Amino acid sequence: MTTVEERPAREANPSATAADRPIGFGRIQRKEDPRFVRGKGNYLDDIVLPGMLHGAILRSPMAHGRIVSIDTTEALAHPKVHAVITGTDLEGLNLAWAPTLSADVQAVLATDKVRFQGQEVAFVVAEDRYSARDALELIDVEYEQLDPVIDVRRALDPGAPVVRTDLEGRTDNHIFDWEAGDAAETDAVFAAADVVVKQEMVYPRVHPAPMETCGAIADYEPIDGKLTLYETTQAPHAHRTLFAMVAGIPEHKIRVISPDIGGGFGNKVGIYPGYILAVVGSIVTGKPVKWVEDRSENLMSTSFARDYIMTGEVAATRDGKILAVRTNVLADHGAFNATAQPTKYPAGFFHIFTGSYDLQAAHCKVTGVYTNKAPGGVAYACSFRVTEAVYLVERMVDVLASELGMDPVELRLKNFIKPEQFPYANKTGWEYDSGDYEPTMRLAMQIAGYEDLRREQAEKRARGELMGIGISFFTETVGAGPRKHMDIVGLGMADGAEVRVHPTGKAVVRLSVQSQGQGHETTFAQIVAEELGIPPEDIDVVHGDTDNTPFGLGTYGSRSTPVSGAAVALTSRKVRDKARLIAAAMLETRPEDLEWEKGRWFVKGDPGAGKTIAEIALGAHGTVALPEGVDGNLDAEVTYDPPNLTFPFGAYICVVDIDKGTGKVHVRRFVAVDDCGTRINPMIIEGQIHGGLADGVGMALMEFIGFDEDGNCLGGSFMDYLIPTAMEVPDWETGHTVTPSPHHPIGAKGIGESATVGSPPAVVNAVVDALAPFGLTHMDMPCTPARVWEAMQGRPTPPI
């Protein structure tokens, strides 16, 4: 791994300590790692409650079928079974259907029909996991098989089977049409343009596949009516509120605890039937009930991602000025519209398909469609469909470059939004907060040795060897709210933070966001340290427990740093302001006569006369006479509603070699230069980027969930759903630039999804570039050896 630092690294200054410059430099070790690397993490399945029972779900074997009857007699007779729950039982509790995050409903247990393979049909609660599984075999379900609709285009045909017969008056599979930009203006620019290129592309269905699958333990206490729900969730507070709404349990009687989470990547945003069933199981049996899905259940039934068919068009001048982009998208949402994104945006933040370019016009139309496939459909390090948008525009720019015979870097440089144009209003109504794209692109070229690579490629081509260089330059949209524009089922997208400084000067910060591996316990302590001068190791970070943290919408859309990070900075500043009043009282002077230096208020002009935060904390809790209106503590809290999203960006360059005999793509090099504004912890950022790049290479080359024509899922295990190992990924070469966000208190933008968003087009662009001698201008992901080989034979790539 190589890292190029744009400014001198903190490591260069050995005398500096974490306490005096906690943010932006250095490789502060992760506070959470000692427990993780020693196997002392506390994941959901590590939790064992006294008397706990175990649940298992019976799932539909077919994609579409009518339920004729369900006989649970034999399963109930199993000596270790405590309960068998069916959809009919749930109907009695008004829980057979639950609202999704997208204003649809989803069957918790199927009552009328099954609508995808793997759908939940019955729930068994038994004394152990094995007995619960055994008892599933004893349930007798009679189905009448129905014709499934798997292909999204066919789903829109007038005669297609109707998936959602439960919705009144429903005679087709159309969910929504959503548009952004100005269609007429865009058409006019296209009509007058010298050059128009068009390309259809598929972003296949993929899955976040976190290391830990989803699960829940429900512990309902009938005496006081309190429900404690341990869940693998990225958004504990939002889940608590939704459970209160759905189950009718008063919200103050629900405590959601999200323990250590073994990766989320978006998979743990939604509420799955299994969570609700664990709660029902606990209420019915009067005991705690644990439900943990296995790998196949995770891949087949929980939140997939993408599944977009996009037709992109770009209008440009002959000399390479991009004028407009337009696109039509068919979005396969599966059997229930259960996507998770702010309510107003059924296609998430797909608006950003205008990319990093200064355009005259843009228009997109997205059509959402039901099919007999598993529901879900946003999540996987995606920033709400930015992944698809970036893939579209970055692929299209390469298609245009090939049409114009222009170098793809030169074409991008020519069309970048210029630094003086920020804040930049794009043509779909978004305001990019800050950006300076060219230096980022140039740094990536410098690290890659771009000119040399092109020379090497020319030599290899002359020898008949296949080498490709792929570029992607992306702008991301992360950090949802503001809440006046963004909500999830009516809950505004804001986040709370609370900082308490203990009498001895140590502190605790409580967050509404929830880490799944991103290192929040470290980075949020660093923010407090930066603002208050308390060393990060003296700050405890509490998250993932609704009884002990302030309300907020949670971790997804890389919003923790942009929203919660801002809340923590502002809360710390509130503490600092309060500390000033107390210090003034202690020093018997006026607050305005005090000056701040990290960790200490002192008298202007008399640096010797001052009080450290620890002294002030003791004073606040001690016997000092406090000024009027100042409470005896050093605590503060803030709920932060961001004024805008943040727009990180990056330049990626991928170099591939393709084996002519087998079609195997070898990613030889990958250069990633990211700009996420102010960098809190460079080591953690690097880790986020490494992980995201592996995601991107995986999607581009191997990962996809396919279906046969009967709707059987072909990606239901890691034998079929291939994720990259260390063998498939290169040593990443990273660099960075720093363009702070003007509206964030510390200038930080999010980074958690950038590399997943930005890397797939770089890899595909490299593969297509390598195959240019065969006349290829596009290839759909995943670029598997078989598909690349077919392309080399001049044949259309086989469907996935």
**Contact set with ligand MCN (CB under 6 A):** 210, 263-266, 381, 516-520, 523, 555-561, 676-681, 684-685, 688, 691, 748-753
As a whole number of angstroms, the distance between CA 204 and CA 265 comes to 17
User: Which candidate, 738, 739, 702, places its Cα nearest to that of 720?
Assistant: 702
| Residue 713: CB minimum distance to ligand CUN, A | 21
Q: Which helix (H) or strand (E) holds 530?
A: helix 520-532
CB of 760 to ligand CUN, least distance (A): 14
> Residue 700 CB, nearest distance to ligand CUN (Å)?
18
Q: Which is nearer to ligand CUN, 370 or 556 (CB)?
A: 556
Residue 263, contacted partner among ligand MCN, ligand CUN, none, CB below 5-8 A by kind: ligand MCN
Quote the tokens at residue 758. 């930005």
Q: Are 582 and 571 in contact (CB under 8 A)?
A: no
Please, what is the minimum distance in Å from the beta carbon of residue 341 to ligand CUN? 8
Instruction: Indicate whether 750 belongs to the interface with ligand CUN (CB under 6 A).
Output: no
- Residue nearer to ligand MCN on the CB measure, 619 or 692: 692
Partner from ligand MCN, ligand CUN, none binding residue 477, C-beta < 5-8 Å depending on class: none
CB of 61 to ligand MCN, least distance (A): 31
Query: With respect to ligand CUN, which residue has the nearer C-beta, 480 or 672?
Result: 480
Strand 431-432 to 424-425 pairing: antiparallel
237 Cβ contact list (under 8 Å, min separation 6): 256, 512, 546, 549, 551, 552, 553, 554
The CA-based angle 341-345-350, given to 5 degrees, is 90
The β-bridge relationship of strands 634-640 and 495-501 is antiparallel
Q: Least distance (Å) from ligand MCN to the CB of residue 556?
A: 4
378 binding partner (options ligand MCN, ligand CUN, none; Cβ < 5 to 8 Å by kind): ligand CUN
Stretch that binds ligand CUN, among 31-39, 377-385, 611-619, 787-795 (CB under 6 A): 377-385
Looking at the Cβ atoms of 341 and 434, the one nearer to ligand CUN is 341
Radius of gyration of the chain (CA): 27
Q: How far is CA 569 from CA 22, 630, 689, 732, in A?
A: 13, 21, 24, 32
We find the least distance from the C-beta atom of residue 269 to ligand CUN, in angstroms, to be 6
Going by C-alpha positions, the residue among 120, 175, 116 that lies closest to residue 374 is 116
For residue 711, state whether it binds ligand CUN (rule: CB under 6 A). Answer: no
Cβ 552 to ligand CUN, closest distance in Å? Answer: 15
Binding positions for ligand CUN, 233-252, rule CB under 6 A: 234
CA-to-CA distance for 239 and 94, rounded, in angstroms? 19
Pick between residue 308 and residue 424 the one whose CB is nearest to ligand CUN. 308
Long-range residue pairs from 450-453, CB within 8 A, at least 24 positions apart, any chain: 450/409, 450/653, 453/655
> Considering only 265-273, 355-363, 685-693, 708-716, which stretch makes contact with ligand CUN by CB under 6 A?
265-273
CB-based contact 118:301 (threshold 8 Å)? yes
Residues 581, 630: contact at Cβ < 8 Å?
Answer: yes
Instruction: For the CB of residue 100, give the shortest distance to ligand CUN in the complex, in Å.
Output: 16
Q: Select the binding partner of residue 269 from ligand CUN, ligand MCN, none (C-beta < 5 to 8 A, by kind).
A: ligand CUN
Does 378 sit near ligand CUN (CB under 6 A)? yes
441 neighbors 650 (Cβ within 8 angstroms):
no
- CA atoms of 467 and 482, how far apart (whole Å): 45
Is residue 266 a contact point for ligand CUN (CB under 6 A)?
yes
CA distance readout (Å), 673 to 141, 240, 734: 55, 39, 6
Under the criterion CB under 6 A, does residue 379 sit at the interface with ligand CUN?
A: yes
Site map for ligand CUN, 269-288, x if CB under 6 A?
x-------------------
CA-based max dimension of the chain:
86
**Least distance from C-beta 710 to ligand MCN, angstroms?**
32
In terms of CB distance, is 688 or 759 closer to ligand MCN? 688
What is the distance between the alpha carbons of residues 140 and 125, in angstroms, rounded to a whole number?
Answer: 16
Coil, helix or strand at residue 442: helix
Q: Does 556 bind ligand CUN (CB under 6 A)?
A: yes
CB 580 within 8 A of CB 601: yes
> How many chain residues are in contact with ligand CUN, going by CB under 6 A?
15
Strand-pairing partners, residue 255, are 228
* Binder of residue 523, out of ligand CUN, ligand MCN, none (CB less than 5 to 8 A by kind): ligand MCN
Interface pick for ligand CUN out of 382, 584, 693, 701 (rule CB under 6 A): 382
Sheet holding 65-71, edge to edge: 113-114, 65-71, 140-145
Whichever of 381 and 603 has its CB closer to ligand CUN, that residue is 381
Phi first, then psi, for residue 488 (nearest 5°) are -120, 120
381 near ligand CUN (CB under 6 A): yes
131 makes contact, choosing from ligand CUN, ligand MCN, none, with CB < 5 to 8 Å by partner type, with none
Residue 390 or 614: the one with the smaller Cβ distance to ligand CUN is 390
Q: Can you point out the beta strands (E) in 663-725?
A: 665-675
Question: Could you tell me if 497 and 510 are in contact, meaning their C-beta atoms sit under 8 angstroms apart?
Answer: yes
Is 467 a binder of ligand CUN (CB under 6 A)? no
676 contact, one of ligand CUN, ligand MCN, none, CB 5-8 Å limit per kind: ligand MCN
Site residues (vs ligand CUN, CB under 6 A): 234, 264-266, 269, 378-384, 556-557, 753
